[in-house]
Amino acid sequence: MLDRHATLTVAEPRTPYQLTTTGQPWLEVLVDRPYPRDSQEDQQILTYSVPPDLTVEIGDILSVPFGSQVIGGIALRFLENLPAGLEENQIRPVEDVITKGFFPDNYWQLLTKIAQYYATDLITVVRVALPTGLLRSSQRRIRLKPEAIPPGAEVFCTPLSRQILSLLKNQKEGDYSAKYLQEKLKNANYGIRDLVKRGWVESYLEAPKSTNIKQKKAITLLITDFPADLTENQRKIVEILRHQGGEMWLPELAELAGTKHFKPLIDKGYVVIEDREFLRLSSSIMSRDQPKTLTSSQKQALEAIQTLKGGESALLHGVTGSGKTEVYLQAIAPILAAGKSALVLVPEIGLTPQLTDRFVARFGDRVYVYHSALSEGERYDTWRQMLTGTPQVIIGTRSAIFAPLPHLGMIILDEEHDSSFKQSQLLPTYHARTVAKWRAQLNHCPVILGSATPSLETWLESQANPSLYLSLPDRIQNRPLPRVEIVDMRRELQRGNRSLFSQSLGSSLETLRDKGEQAILFVSRRGHSTFVSCRSCGYVLECPHCDVSLSYHHTEPGAQELLRCHYCNYGRIHPKQCPECGSPYLKFFGTGTQRVTQELTKEFPDLRCLRFDSDTTRNKNAPRELLKLFTDGEFDVLVGTQMLTKGLDIDRVTLVGVMAADGLLYHSDYRASERAFQTLTQVAGRAGRGETEGKVIIQTYTPEHPVIRAVQTHDYEGFVETELMQRESLNYPPYGSLVLIRFSGLDGEAVQKSAENVAEECVNNFGSDWDILGPAPATIMRVANRYRWQILLKLSGEKADIDRLFRPLKSLVLPKVSMAIDVDPLTIE
Ligand code: ADP
Ligand code: ZN
Ligand code: ZN
């Protein structure tokens, strides 16, 4: 525990928050009351006073008066002065400390550090970290400690305390909920407090129960051969079971085998059916999986991981299919064996069933999934479950970095380069990789950053220290990386090929079915066409609320033709005539997933095509179901967007086609090349993961583009070298640092004025090492009727004091204009 006067120190010497009472009587408490819908943000944070005889620490769970009730709360921070508008006589005292140590060590230091670095309020950080309703279902209980009561000492305490003691003594376990005692005895709390102080009773929160365990029927195979008395159907069942590792959920076997008639097999003693725990995972596999014998580079990597010191982060650089996941699994096993837990972060769209299944197959019911799509109840359950401290593996997306694992032994970020690890739109604008490093330093555990295409930041850092660079240069079983063919679409046109599919892609698709293989086609846009314009007058149909064109959506013949805005989701029926000149000749430009699927069906009627994008996978379980159809071989071609780039490991996919790479190459952003290289390499990596060699066909109008060249030759290092030189010359990350200030509001002039005020202040008050670019309108100036301006600040060297520099800027912003500070922005558009 910290000293009474300790202030927080996390890597930086100065911090505004204090951990314990230092004679400041005011305390901000995050209270447990339903979020009032129509009110100001901070209605859940109330100010209380701390009675002189009570020691409160930040992070303590408290009971506080609220109206006529007593409710739960978390001590957030001490205040030197009362907030404006509050009078001393309005402030009520904290009632009691219910429990200490509800959060893992250093948890509040971590949240505080995030608040400072990203220049946001602590409560904003608390909101992303803690599940809502954390306290709501908490229950405070009082337990007698008979051994601590000196014989005969009871006569010296107050009548109230004596009454409580006698109530507790009459209960078998000496244990009642505080609520019960309060109902029984008036002012019971004074007595409880007295007894807690004497150490005769203890106050605790009901121990977190593990997640509601659901039972489900599982069937297990007991034989290893095929006895002669099996009927043909029974033989088929045994075969399926064997193929699945000898154990399956009953409904799944029933579905695969097409029968529910297992009784004869049970009677013969060949299988048993019993109830098993069903994890709250969407996963349903339970086949056991054994550690694989590592290749020599996997072994080297694993050994290096095991010698990492606490707080160090290493890069595991391995091409797709090189066996990184196997290294993670074997790195985690000893962590669990040592009674610690591991945190595995994956990109939002990387949280595929395939990945979680592999972890479950290895670690069984010690694997939990934690991500933002969980319901409030599920999040809450997982949270409480984690606090029990049992060794476990949490797999989750960005916000899982806040998982309250008490004995954290390792943090892994898979596909560490992925931009979904950064929260860009909401506050705080944290990056899970940055937070992971802080957390690892606080908890003295290592971080593993895995990627086939590491971010330039991580690459540069690992180059500085060779012991932190671990490489898996080859695919497992020396499977070759797929051959990448670049097709110049301008030539195709010259040759008179007006189809979306080049000759090369077309002929590969034609032979696909005969060979029993599968293909993935990558399209960078969903929808049908990226925009619609009039051939007669050139009018482009635009969103009335945003400065962007509308996309044409047409799912199937006969369906309603729609136009949709991909920024605000505005939709309208596709007009028959140009709204401007009445001409009936509207033309579609650009290609989306729907159009590719339609053309594919037209040109290759034999191929069975499945579309996989955010339109078809909106439903929570849809991605899993669609992918299963594809892996089961019900379809030949999967057509999809960005969602396809991650984690798909399907043996029979031998062909990957990129419809038009150009959509990825041209963006105003300084990271456009890096992102394009990563996406194309990831997509290409989906090909040839099985026995048969894979082939990638990239269609483009600019085959000479350096990114396309680097992808073709799988030349990560060459690409990085050129790209780093450019970044260095312009002082962009990973050399310089960036902070983006974004302004938005309905009144365009007010937004512009606010941006100008703030920019002027920065010019006047920030030191000369800050380069101030702007203010300028955002690339798309208006989205959902809100005007958007921004200022980009560039700093050579390390950032310090972000909070102190940027916080005062907020006062320069006009009413109804919002200002957001994005520290280390990934997109500047
Ligand atoms: P990555 O995560 O780098 O894409 P994976 O860990 O998914 O690679 O490995 C690719 C494939 O190779 C998987 O099917 C995996 O089961 C298999 N694999 C990984 N390591 C080994 C090994 N040492 N021996 C045999 N197969 C392996
Ligand atoms: Zn027109
Ligand atoms: Zn719009």
Residue 720: which pLDDT band, with cuts at 50, 70 and 90? very high
Question: How far apart are the CA of 579 and the centre of ligand 2, in A?
Answer: 7
Residue 493 has pLDDT above 60, yes or no: yes
Summarised one tens digit per residue, pLDDT across range 527-578 is: 666 778 887 877 888 888 877 778 888 766 777 888 888 777 788 888 888 8
Residue 39 has pLDDT above 60, yes or no: no
Question: How far apart are the CA of 780 and the centre of ligand 3, in A?
Answer: 11
Question: How far apart are the CA of 778 and the centre of ligand 1, in A?
Answer: 43
Q: Which two tokens stand for residue 188?
A: 């019971």
Summarised one tens digit per residue, pLDDT across range 271-316 is: 888 776 544 443 444 557 788 999 999 999 999 999 999 999 999 9
Query: So what's the pLDDT on residue 487?
Result: 92
Question: How far apart are the CA of 528 and the centre of ligand 2, in A?
Answer: 21
Three-point CA angle 409, 412, 414, nearest 5°: 165
Query: So what's the pLDDT on residue 711?
Result: 92
Question: How far apart are the CA of 342 and the centre of ligand 2, in A?
Answer: 60
Query: So what's the pLDDT on residue 423?
Result: 92
Residue 1 has pLDDT above 50, yes or no: no
Residue 719 has pLDDT above 80, yes or no: yes
For ligand 1, atom 6, the nearest C-alpha belongs to 323
Which atom of ligand 1 lies closest to the CA of 319? Answer: 3
Number of Cβ within a 10 Å radius of residue 710? 22
Which atom of ligand 1 lies closest to the CA of 452? Answer: 3
Which atom of ligand 1 lies closest to the CA of 685? Answer: 4
Peptide bond into 734 cis (omega under 30): yes
Query: So what's the pLDDT on residue 471?
Result: 93
Question: How far apart are the CA of 478 and the centre of ligand 1, in A?
Answer: 11
Instruction: Output phi, psi for 7, to 5 deg.
Output: -105, 165
Lowest mean pLDDT among 467-476, 600-609, 688-697, 715-724: 688-697
Which atom of ligand 1 lies closest to the CA of 647? Answer: 4
For ligand 1, atom 5, the nearest C-alpha belongs to 323
Give the residue, 580 or 380, on which the prediction is more confident. Answer: 580
Query: So what's the pLDDT on residue 147?
Result: 87
Beta strands (DSSP E) in 692-763 are: 695-700, 737-745
Residue 138: which pLDDT band, with cuts at 50, 70 and 90? low
Query: So what's the pLDDT on residue 34?
Result: 57
For ligand 1, atom 20, the nearest C-alpha belongs to 323
Render the burial of 447-470: b for 16+ CB within 10 Å, e for the rest. Answer: bbbbbbbbbbbbbbbbeeeeebbb
Query: So what's the pLDDT on residue 111?
Result: 92
DSSP 3-state of 176: strand
Proximal ligand: closest to the CA of 536: 2
Which atom of ligand 1 lies closest to the CA of 295? Answer: 23
Which atom of ligand 1 lies closest to the CA of 320? Answer: 4
Which protein residues touch ligand 1 with a CB less than 6 Å away?
292-295, 298, 318, 320-326, 476, 649
**Average of per-residue pLDDT across 348-357:** 72
Proximal ligand: closest to the CA of 647: 1
For ligand 1, atom 17, the nearest C-alpha belongs to 323
Question: Do the beta carbons of residue 733 and residue 824 sit within 8 Å?
Answer: yes
Query: So what's the pLDDT on residue 208?
Result: 42
DSSP 310-357: TT-EEEEEE-TTSSHHHHHHHHHHHHHHTT-EEEEE--GGG--HHHHH
For ligand 1, atom 19, the nearest C-alpha belongs to 323
Query: So what's the pLDDT on residue 708?
Result: 92
Which atom of ligand 1 lies closest to the CA of 472? Answer: 3
Question: Of 28, 60, 63, which is closest to residue 142 (Cα–Cα)?
Answer: 63
Query: So what's the pLDDT on residue 335?
Result: 96
Proximal ligand: closest to the CA of 578: 2
Question: How far apart are the CA of 784 and the centre of ligand 3, in A?
Answer: 5
Lowest mean pLDDT among 15-29, 232-246, 345-359, 653-667: 15-29
**Average of per-residue pLDDT across 800-815:** 86
Give the residue, 97 or 429, on which the prediction is more confident. Answer: 429
Query: So what's the pLDDT on residue 205?
Result: 64
Query: So what's the pLDDT on residue 503?
Result: 92
Percentage above 90 pLDDT, the chain: 29
Instruction: Output phi, psi for 188, to 5 deg.
Output: -50, -30
Question: How far apart are the CA of 257 and the centre of ligand 1, in A?
Answer: 29
d(CA 60, CA 77): 10
Which distant-in-sequence residues (6+ apart) come within 8 Å of 295 by Cβ? 323, 472, 474, 476
Summarised one tens digit per residue, pLDDT across range 461-488 is: 999 998 999 999 887 777 777 889 999 9
Question: How far apart are the CA of 620 and the centre of ligand 2, in A?
Answer: 41
For ligand 1, atom 18, the nearest C-alpha belongs to 323
Task: Choose the residue to mutate in 326, 362, 645 for probing ligand 1, maximizing ligand atoms within 8 Å of C-beta.
Answer: 326
Which atom of ligand 1 lies closest to the CA of 328? Answer: 6
DSSP 3-state of 764: helix
For ligand 1, atom 15, the nearest C-alpha belongs to 323
Which atom of ligand 1 lies closest to the CA of 322? Answer: 3
**Average of per-residue pLDDT across 598-606:** 90
Task: Choose the residue to mutate in 298, 325, 448 for probing ligand 1, maximizing ligand atoms within 8 Å of C-beta.
Answer: 325
Question: How far apart are the CA of 529 and the centre of ligand 2, in A?
Answer: 18
Residue 717: which pLDDT band, with cuts at 50, 70 and 90? very high
Question: How far apart are the CA of 547 and the centre of ligand 3, in A?
Answer: 7
Proximal ligand: closest to the CA of 682: 1
DSSP state of 468: G
> Among the ranges 321-330, 543-552, 634-643, which has the highest mean pLDDT value?
321-330
Give the residue, 618 or 479, on which the prediction is more confident. Answer: 479
Which distant-in-sequence residues (6+ apart) come within 8 Å of 441 by Cβ? 11, 310, 311
For ligand 1, atom 23, the nearest C-alpha belongs to 294
pTM: 0.75
Question: How far apart are the CA of 541 and the centre of ligand 2, in A?
Answer: 10
Proximal ligand: closest to the CA of 571: 3
Summarised one tens digit per residue, pLDDT across range 258-268 is: 888 888 898 88
d(CA 64, CA 54): 13
Query: So what's the pLDDT on residue 23?
Result: 57
Which distant-in-sequence residues (6+ apart) come within 8 Å of 283 by Cβ? 353, 356, 357, 360, 369
Question: How far apart are the CA of 576 and the centre of ligand 3, in A?
Answer: 21
Proximal ligand: closest to the CA of 572: 3
Proximal ligand: closest to the CA of 586: 2
Give the side-chain half-sphere CA count within 13 A for 276: 20
Task: Choose the residue to mutate in 476, 649, 651, 691 for probing ligand 1, maximizing ligand atoms within 8 Å of C-beta.
Answer: 476
Give the residue, 792 or 767, on which the prediction is more confident. Answer: 792
Question: How far apart are the CA of 354 and the centre of ligand 1, in A?
Answer: 13
Give the residue, 613 or 15, on which the prediction is more confident. Answer: 613
Question: How far apart are the CA of 549 and the centre of ligand 2, in A?
Answer: 15
Residue 92 has pLDDT above 50, yes or no: yes
Proximal ligand: closest to the CA of 322: 1
Question: Do the beta carbons of residue 430 and residue 114 sit within 8 Å?
Answer: yes
Query: So what's the pLDDT on residue 587?
Result: 80
Question: How far apart are the CA of 653 and the centre of ligand 1, in A?
Answer: 16
> Among the ranges 108-122, 180-194, 797-811, which has the highest mean pLDDT value?
108-122
Residue type for position 129:
A
Which atom of ligand 1 lies closest to the CA of 318? Answer: 3
Which atom of ligand 1 lies closest to the CA of 327? Answer: 6
Question: Residues whose CB is under 5 A from ligand 2 (ion)?
Answer: 534, 536-537, 539, 578, 580-581, 583
Summarised one tens digit per residue, pLDDT across range 418-441 is: 988 999 888 899 999 999 999 999
**Average of per-residue pLDDT across 173-185:** 84
DSSP 543-592: -SSSSSBPEEE--STTSPPEEE-TTT--EEEPPSS-TTT--S-EEEES--
For ligand 1, atom 9, the nearest C-alpha belongs to 323
Summarised one tens digit per residue, pLDDT across range 747-769 is: 999 999 999 999 999 999 887 88
Residue 221: which pLDDT band, with cuts at 50, 70 and 90? confident
Residue 614 has pLDDT above 80, yes or no: no
**Average of per-residue pLDDT across 8-29:** 52
DSSP 48-68: EE--TT---BTT-EEEEEETT
Question: How far apart are the CA of 582 and the centre of ligand 2, in A?
Answer: 6
Question: Do the beta carbons of residue 370 and residue 281 sit within 8 Å?
Answer: no
> Among the ranges 142-146, 212-216, 473-477, which has the highest mean pLDDT value?
142-146
> Among the ranges 86-90, 271-275, 647-651, 701-705, which has the highest mean pLDDT value?
701-705
